[in-house]
Structure 1
Amino acid sequence: MRSPLFATCLLAVAFACSKKEENKKPIETAAPEATAMVNGKSCYLYAKGRDTITMSLAMNANNANGELIYRLDGKDKNEGTFSGTFIGDTLFADYSFSSEGTTSVRESIFLRTGEVLTEGYGEMEEKSGKMVFKNPRKVQFDAKSIVLAKTDCKE
């Protein structure tokens, strides 16, 4: 026979687990057709000190592709292209880039809020020659993130 104390403990654990889930900010997973983006080209820039990141983003419905260049002080320049899809306000893309003569591919996730794109970060691992997020639902967008602001495109 189970005691009332056991039942109370079980309820407390269930309540604590459900509260923990409420505090997480999940990645938006709205249906692509419900959140179609405007077709065309946009440009974004991050500039702080001697660090710059530039992105040109071409949209066709929810499909996105373009160029992305990282010039971070003290690090090798990464220059390449990306291709991906917006799901809700989140861009999921593969970034193919070259650095020091080596070509690599890594998963990139950006959160769109108004006129800015915030780059997500999290624990990554290599799978089939590509760096991917271990758990895309745990990608973080916070004060440590790089924020690219919309800017005029240079032709």
Structure 2
Amino acid sequence: MKNRAYYIFLLFVIVLYSCNQNSNTANTGTKNSKADSLCYASVLGSDSAKLVLSDQKGIINGTLDLFFNDKDDLTGKISGSFKGDTLYLDYAYRVGKKTEYFQNPFVFLKKDGKYYQGYGEITSTFGRTHFKEGAPIDFTKGFVFSAVDCK
């Protein structure tokens, strides 16, 4: 009977130790995912913007903050993917200090290590906005994001 109790106790210790090892590995993974983020900044006239991107198996996630001189700032999260050299994103954002979130599409052209914001015709299908297929997108009028150190 003593041997049986000993083996049960030993099994309990091994399982407990194994569980602790898995949680340490998960914490390390979280730190590495933050280190994999790339940061960009842009200034356009008196307005500025900050873009943080993280690529996780082809899915791009991050944040986009737009700071305007003469209107409320936009802060939010982005998610999307590349089609060739063009990054299509859904932007869920807040206006100023309001708690309500809005959602709009964003598009960027990646060229020479920079991201060029695009403007084009937007349409809505089943309540979801997106760039109109086949309509031209102008990448010459918006923010141009250059790489910066993440802070």
TM-score by length of 1: 0.66
Aligned residues: 115
Please give the alpha-carbon distance, in whole angstroms, between the structure 1 residues aligned to 2:134 and 2:91: 15
Q: Deviations over 1:38-95 (max 9, x none)?
A: x921111012443111011011232110010011111211100000111221111100
Report the equivalent of 1:108.
106
Residue pair 1:110, 1:119 contacting (<8 A) in 2 also: yes
Report the equivalent of 1:32.
none
Question: How far off is 1:99 after superposition?
Answer: 0.8
Alignment partner of 1:153: what SS?
coil
Question: How far off is 1:150 after superposition?
Answer: 1.1
Match of 2:63 among 64, 67, 79: 67
Q: Deviations over 1:120-140 (max 9, x none)?
A: 101223444443222365222
Report the equivalent of 1:118.
116
Unaligned runs of 5+ in 2: 1-34
TM-score by length of 2: 0.68
Match for 1:149: what amino acid?
Answer: S
Report the equivalent of 2:143.
146
Moved more, 63-72 or 43-52: 43-52
Higher-Rg member (1/2):
2
Please give the alpha-carbon distance, in whole angstroms, between the structure 2 residues aligned to 1:99 and 1:128: 24
Unaligned runs of 5+ in 1: 1-38
Report the equivalent of 1:7.
none
Residue pair 1:92, 1:107 contacting (<8 A) in 2 also: yes
Q: Greater helix share, 1 or 2?
A: 2
Question: How far off is 1:141 after superposition?
Answer: 1.6
Please give the alpha-carbon distance, in whole angstroms, between the structure 1 residues aligned to 2:124 and 2:86: 22
1:91 aligns with 2:56: no
Match for 1:103: what amino acid?
Answer: Y
Q: What is the percent sequence identity of the aligned residues?
A: 30
Residue pair 2:77, 2:93 contacting (<8 A) in 1 also: yes
Match for 2:139: what amino acid?
Answer: F
